[in-house]
Amino acid sequence: MVADLLSECEARMHKAIESLKKDLAGVRTGRANPALVEKVHVDYYGVPTPLNQIANIAVPEPRLIVIQPYEKTMMSAIEKAIQKSDLGLTPSNDGRVIRLQIPQLTEERRRDLVKVARRRVEEGRVAIRNIRRESQDDLKELEKEKIISEDEYKRSHDRLQKLTDAMIVEIDRIGAKKEEEIMEV
């Protein structure tokens, strides 16, 4: 019973960390990354569709993203979607592919992006803590209903805290790595 609860808690925490990784991949650094444009939604015959489902996205150079639509008719829709997004990038279209040149980041913009990354890392920490709190409530309920003993409750509580601490360390490591990427010239 307790083992199931803790393994479910661990699985939820891993999902929160994966979500954070995906979220941070969308934060722009000085180099091109397909994840920057994958979440851009394009109007595909009246249906908002993620760009990676209607086009091939490649990074042939460190500062260039090349988008090749599966249908040539989607070129203008993709361009409009990129211009409307908060990426701040201007697409150039040669009739076959769309190129996005990633400009060099200024020091001020880097600091702003670090703040964004830190805020998202903190949201990840909060998510982990919320999962811990819910699991603690479940453990307390089990003890209150006399399903587990007080000693087992304390042992489980300690294991839950150690798991939470390990996940927070992992989130901090991911955040520090992303900050380093952003500040890299």
Full DSSP string of 49-102 = EEGGGTEEEEEEETTEEEEEESSGGGHHHHHHHHHHSTT---EEE-SS-EEEE-
Question: In total, how many domains does the chain have?
Answer: 2
Structural domain span for residue 46: 35-101
Any idea what the Cα angle at residue 27 is, between residues 116 and 82, rounded to 5°? 120
Domain end among 58, 82, 101: 101
pLDDT value at 69 more than 80: yes
- Tell me: do 81 and 145 sit in the same domain: no
pLDDT value at 23 more than 90: no
Q: Is residue 30 part of a domain?
A: no
- Output the domain CATH number for residue 81: 3.30.1360.40
- Output the domain CATH number for residue 123: 1.10.132.20
Q: How many CB atoms within 10 Å of residue 120? A: 19
- pLDDT 10s digits, 119-172: 999 999 999 999 999 999 999 998 899 888 889 999 999 999 999 999 999 999
